Structure 1
């Protein structure tokens, strides 16, 4: 048996904190009886659990890594009719949601999950989950600009936290810089570089917490490995739920069908990102 708020979070419909609010508000029932206390437990698959009289189905917890291409939005649906990242995860039976966002013209590592608690922890600024981006910027990146990025850049919504910055290639026309931040402001990396005088030409996220993009091709996705699974929950300071796959299941998992079928012709072969 597990606490109701944990079951609701594992169902991917809310964070644990939001589920607690629902319980206290009398919106959750177990076997037809309304629950208003946080200590109540239930057994998924045996007890009937409902929110606002709608029975929920508890899914296994899954997390996947997607290499988001440019020209996709990081939402479930888009009112403007643009392509969404959900079109790229064919073969995933569970209802997963993007953890955070990458803007329309940014590519790279995107985590999708159905664990509401994990999503909340990873995105909350108090947990300082690092994100590493590889930016191709216009012009040479001068020492003064690097110092600004490392100290913090004053933007219209406040000064950014200090960033770790490594110049990978300098050229008068364009340079390549790797930057590590833990904040998640809207278009933050682009705004930081524009402020210091080096507008971004291309931007790719190559790492999110302990997860690395590696050689995963654009438009393809994969399950987390068991080691990544444990490391991700540790980064969020959460106990890891059981890893959802046995060795046998992974060998025939939808990951392989998804990676082979989605985006093969459109995006071409793998490119090494580190």
Structure 2
């Protein structure tokens, strides 16, 4: 059985499928000793695939949910020496990486895996996975301000939109508000940029849900493997929405 080269690389746990495509186009991938740059290339289990001249090995796919604390980088490494989400997985032998990201100062649910195809499905906006956030703001946004979230806010050349936004409570004395926001997109610092655009900066931000998953029974810094049923549900959810 043959599979696309970028999928094979992603399934090895080295990187995501999107980054695997960039590696191929850059000439960093060899199949049976020859550089391959064509993204449509297919390989079998009998072919030798090397990335940066290092043979890849297919790992057993693993899937985890982490309750990410504030003050942690959603990356496999950090050039400034800051703590990363991978630091919580010392006992995991597979080369896992986060699916998407949460900002340094944002806490909440984060998924990690070595399954590149699975990660691609969940990260791409076309699959429309709900991501629910609880936001505490400095200031109380107006209804007109929040309406702009549905229409989309232009920021740094990107159009940022929310699927749903609702004020849960306000404190007129302290001039703060608690809101629930649901996103499909996953742009860098998206919610902070959106609230900055309406001049109501974010004070605290937590991702409460990823699809049907929550951080229930997980303290900040704790993680657990996804159950086979949860993995199947996420794949079904992505396929239903694509």
Once residues 70 and 176 of structure 1 are traced to their aligned partners in structure 2, the CA distance between those partners, rounded to angstroms, is 18
Q: Distance in 2 between matches of 1:100 and 1:68?
A: 13
Distance 2:65 2:107 in 1: 13
Shift of 1:34: 8.6
Unaligned runs of 5+ in 2: none
| d(CA) in 2 for partners of 1:151, 1:213 | 30
With the length of structure 1 as denominator, give the TM-score of the two structures. Answer: 0.73
Q: Write the distance in 2 (CA, Å) between the matches of 1:181 and 1:187.
A: 12
Task: Confirm or deny: 8 A CA contact 1:118 1:236 kept in the other structure.
Answer: no
Deviation at 1:190? 0.8
Query: Structure 1, residues 161-205: CA drift from partner, whole Å, max 9, x if none?
Result: 243012221112221101011112211101111222321110001
The 5 Å alignment of 1:233-272 reads: 233-237=235-239
Other-structure match for 2:140? 140
Higher strand share: 2
Residues 1:144 and 1:226: Cα distance change in structure 2 (over 3 Å): same
Number of residues paired by the alignment?
A: 231
Sort the Cα spacing of 1:156 and 1:80 in 2 relative to 1 into closer, same or farther, 3 A.
same
- Pair 1:40–1:90, CA change in 2 (3 A): closer
Q: CA deviation at 1:145?
A: 2.2
Q: TM-score, normalised by structure 2?
A: 0.82
Name the CA shift for 1:154/1:48 in 2 (closer, same or farther; >3 Å): closer
Q: Secondary structure at the match of 1:170?
A: strand
CA RMSD of aligned residues (A): 2.8
Q: 1 or 2 for the larger relative contact order (CA 8 Å, sep ≥6)?
A: 2
Using the alignment, how far apart are the partners of 2:156 and 2:30 within structure 1?
A: 40
**Distance change in 2, residues 1:33/1:181 (3 Å):** closer
